[in-house]
Chains A and B, each alone.
Chain A
């Protein structure tokens, strides 16, 4: 509504005369704005927002027709509530039904009948306002501030009372509030919000209008303050931090000085919120103003939104691939598919400019599925052209997880192109967990059940909960670039990186480090035992054609893949005996343990093995192995398990992958055997086995533990100490920093007995600490507690996991 009190009606028709007639009919009651096609109408709507009271829409128009317009509007939560009346001229029922289905509320037919048109529009507007009123709950019960809609209404009245005055809107965002809720529970979170709301009102004065716009964002409408001092804000934040939670609370402030009182209050408030973003870009500022640059950004955003669908239809979006490489060999082992927008006029558009917008309006799902389709098509083309496929990961936005058809859509692409599911990896971001953990878990489980390999993207980018890792069954962790960016300057981050890589190994997850730019970073990651990486050091994201060229120029080397893909009949027996050709090359250069073994019912013997295989055994055993019956190293149960796997694989012409317990010199050693049948007859089966000692690293099942917050703390506060503990042997292994901190050796025996003394625990915390150790000893996890030492204190928690096969557990103590 305008200052004149007239409501605004948007008239959309490509015919000038029809628009003139309609505007004439409405001129006494409404302020009309005109648009000649759907696109112009969208731009007008974005400008006026929901202050438009009704839209009169022609269906047949050039550039963007009425259907397209309805489709776009329906997806916008704010604009979808504006009533749209379609203007027709005795159309077919089909056309009218289609418009109704797409959200039109009524029809007007030509020739126009002025009294009927005015009445219908008045009815529609009234209906909308009534329902909006019903939906408006005046006050937020937690803070006592106005709820969003009520705030807009009251702020409008407030400004109208003394319209000659100038006003400001201040938006206030309590950062990381979600973490407070998660770490300390919703009750504490609510208390914090109530506490904070009192400080806000106290700071700006009781006579102003206050609103809780959403969860942790408040807004104030108040008479203009000409000069804001930093103290106003810093004092409020300082008071906030006296609330008893043990993290530093941070607040962002954004200010919009009302310079245009014709725009809706909701837009004024949005501009103050937008200004917050401006402030976040400059950490030196406590608060920030809305300015023209932001307005321009907003305009650009609107342009992007109105062009997005057309861009997808016209294939302006392109899939780029960034290589994932083995850090040791520096060869390509896979790729990540990334979306790029090559705009016909603007050229290359940064994903940072459009992905967040698409996430906001849900269009990202269409884009992600587009990428999925293209990636599956590419893999198909590789297979058709005889090029060895490599796995490609596609990004699934946190928004996609709300799409109930996600799994089926992805599966449909795999079926459409008839590609093995293992080549399509799915990347999800950890932020999805904070927003809707259950939905994410269900989605990931559903995708995994279909055989997809799941990669957790951006691990460590902010939240990184250990709980998340125990609940979301992922296969790979992708470490956020942030870990790497500062590691050369800051030892702490290197330490966290080390921790996360060890944690991943511990959980038997692969780790891909993202953002490797320098040789030093590569070397550092290698020294930490990280296996895979991607980044500009190897290759930037490049178009598919260039990626194919890159693959040709960089010989790929993933023998595991070669072994997995080789056709059943590909390896000739003669090659094994003579050790010739590419088989010989694979055998000798393979970084893992390989053995060709002959299975009969009574014996299992080595035909040929590489050096790495022999190195799995003690020197004294090595000579015996080559002539031994390997069944002698297993008990009956494990022997049977292995024979069954071999029989099954021979029958099904397939591979197998099992973990077998060997007894070597009386000690249990767990070996993972990945086998491929080379030949089989009734008496004997020749098998190629890839053997790995996984005693310390078998698939582990975690006991669920309430362990929220430790890693978040560590990352946020830039420091962490940790050490491993093995209850079976009662041995603790300290990392270098922890050993140094407590002046202890890196290996401590009889830990549970002597931990209190070893670490110098103060008598006040003796019982608490002993309890933590008891939990570890019992293979259980325990939430962090404060433990006092002679001249320092740490928050210490223990995180334990249990090997489901052996029943043995191990623990990590984390000190913060």
Chain B
């Protein structure tokens, strides 16, 4: 099991979107839990809810879901996407919806990329 986790962690590290070392410290070295959480996060329904929020111009919904994703992203050490979502949240908080609408495409694309990679973890 431990070997398998090591392998999966190497795979995650190879994506270049998760800061594995510092995040593993946050997980008190629990590799299994770390991998489990990455897999779980890829299934998080807030991605879809945020997307629908933008499609329906429901910016409150978009804000709430983005805010929630932001907290998890930073805890999982996904700093690149976190920074983008951080900016997206601030745009929405400031009511700059057209800018947010444009910017969200980049964020959604990153999420799709992450989900695709995570699906390969099994």
Which A residues fall within an 8 A CB radius of B? 14-18, 20-21, 24-25, 27-28, 58, 60, 89-90, 92, 110-114
Contacts and interface: CB of A to CB of B under 8 A. Distances in A.
A24 B33 CA distance: 9
A111 B77 contact: yes
A17 B74 contact: no
A113 B27 CA distance: 10
A110 B74 contact: yes
18 contacts: A15-B71, A17-B40, A17-B41, A17-B44, A17-B75, A17-B76, A18-B72, A20-B37, A21-B37, A24-B30, A25-B28, A60-B67, A89-B70, A92-B93, A111-B74, A112-B75, A114-B25, A114-B26
Given A15-B71, A17-B40, 16 more contacts: A14-B68, A20-B37, A24-B28, A24-B30, A25-B26, A89-B67, A89-B74, A90-B86, A92-B93, A110-B71, A111-B26, A111-B75, A111-B77, A112-B75, A113-B26, A114-B25
A113 B75 CA distance: 9
Nearest to A62: B64
Contacts of B28: 24-25, 27-28, 114
Nearest to A87: B71
A407 to B, nearest CB: 40
The size bracket of the interface on B is 20 to 34
Contacts of A114: 25-26, 28
Interface string B52-83: 00000000000010011011101111000000
- Kindly name the residue among A17, A20, A24 whose own CB sees the greatest number of chain B CB atoms within 10 A: A17
Contacts of B41: 17
A15 B74 CA distance: 13
A787 to B, nearest CB: 79
A550 to B, nearest CB: 46
A21 B75 contact: yes
A686 to B, nearest CB: 69
B33 A110 contact: no
Given A25-B26, A114-B26, A60 B64 contact: yes
A89 B70 CA distance: 8
A562 to B, nearest CB: 56
A28 B25 CA distance: 15
Given A14-B68, A60-B67, A24 B27 contact: yes
Q: Which of B27, B74, B75 has the most CB of A within 10 A?
A: B75
Interface string B86-109: 100000010000000000000000
The SS class assigned to the A binding surface is loop
A60 to B, nearest CB: 6
Nearest to B77: A111
Contact of B68 (A15, A21, A27): A15
Contacts of B70: 89
Given A24-B33, A89-B70, A18 B75 contact: yes
A63 to B, nearest CB: 13
A90 B93 CA distance: 13
Contact of A20 (B33, B64, B68, B74): B33
B27 A21 contact: yes
Contacts of B30: 24
A15 B72 contact: yes
Contacts of B74: 89, 110-111
Q: Kindly name the residue among A20, A21, A27, A90 whose own CB sees the greatest number of chain B CB atoms within 10 A.
A: A21
A28 B28 CA distance: 10
A94 to B, nearest CB: 11
A14 B72 CA distance: 11
A737 to B, nearest CB: 75
B21 to A, nearest CB: 13
Contacts of B71: 15, 18, 58, 89, 110
Interface in B8-46: 25-28, 30, 33, 36-37, 40-41, 44
Nearest to B68: A15
A60 B68 contact: yes
State the 8 A-B residue pairs at the shortest beta-carbon distance, nearest first.
A111-B74, A89-B71, A17-B37, A110-B74, A110-B71, A111-B75, A17-B72, A21-B75
A92 B37 CA distance: 28
Contacts of A15: 68, 71-72
A113 B23 CA distance: 10
Nearest to A21: B75
Contacts of B40: 16-17
Contacts of B67: 60, 89
A21 B26 contact: yes
A80 B9 CA distance: 43
A21 B75 CA distance: 8
A14 B69 CA distance: 11
B5 to A, nearest CB: 15
A114 B86 CA distance: 22
Nearest to B22: A111
Nearest to A25: B28
Contacts of A21: 26-27, 37, 75
Nearest to A13: B71
B117 to A, nearest CB: 17
A90 B33 CA distance: 25
A27 B30 CA distance: 12
A51 to B, nearest CB: 25
Contacts of A58: 71
B77 to A, nearest CB: 7
A765 B28 CA distance: 88
Contacts of A28: 28
Contacts of A14: 68
B31 to A, nearest CB: 12
Contacts of B25: 114
Nearest to B27: A24
A774 B44 CA distance: 90
Nearest to B46: A15
Contacts of B37: 17, 20-21
Nearest to B38: A17
A337 to B, nearest CB: 38
A612 to B, nearest CB: 70
A25 B24 CA distance: 11
Nearest to B93: A92
Contacts of A18: 71-72, 75
A398 to B, nearest CB: 43
Taking each of B28, B40, B70, B86, which has the highest tally of chain A beta carbons within 10 Å of its own beta carbon?
B28
Contacts of A16: 40
Contacts of B75: 17-18, 21, 110-112
A60 B63 CA distance: 11
A242 to B, nearest CB: 66
A702 to B, nearest CB: 64
A110 to B, nearest CB: 5
A25 B36 CA distance: 16
B86 to A, nearest CB: 8
A92 B93 CA distance: 10
A192 B44 CA distance: 66
A374 B33 CA distance: 55
Contacts of B93: 92
A32 to B, nearest CB: 13
A60 B26 CA distance: 22
B63 to A, nearest CB: 10
A569 to B, nearest CB: 58
A25 B40 CA distance: 19
Contacts of B26: 21, 25, 111-114
A28 to B, nearest CB: 8
Contacts of A60: 64, 67-68
A90 to B, nearest CB: 8
A622 to B, nearest CB: 82
Most chain A C-beta atoms within 10 Å of own C-beta, residue among B26, B86, B93: B26
B10 to A, nearest CB: 21
A17 B68 CA distance: 11
Contacts of A27: 28
A26 to B, nearest CB: 10
The winner among A16, A111, A113 for most chain B CB atoms within 10 A is A111
Contacts of B77: 111
